[in-house]
Amino acid sequence: MSPDTRLLSDLAPGQQAVISAVHADEALHHRLAALGFRIGRSVMLMRRGRWAGPLQVRLGATDVMLRQAEAGLITVQAL
């Protein structure tokens, strides 16, 4: 495992990364894919909500908010 491999939920605000794996069940996998979470796409963590709240993530022109639990299912290569 390369040292830059981590979970999307572990990125710092403003940090960019490339998605390397999505470990969700089928329904969630589809939903994530529809929003742009696909292997090879680059993502940027915009901000984290207070009190361990959701994350705001940017994929291309789309912004998505997702909880840490869901972000923890996505493995990325930090840039």
Applying CB under 8 A, the residues found at the interface with another protein are 24, 28-36, 38-41, 46-47, 49-54, 56, 60-67, 69-70
Query: How, if at all, do strands 42-48 and 16-22 pair?
Result: antiparallel
Neighbours of 10 (CB within 10 A): 15
User: Residue 1 or residue 61: which is nearer to another protein going by CB?
Assistant: 61
Q: Which residues are CB-neighbours of 38 under 8 A, at least 6 positions away?
A: 19, 22
**CB of residue 43 to another protein, shortest distance in Å:** 13
**CB of residue 4 to another protein, shortest distance in Å:** 20
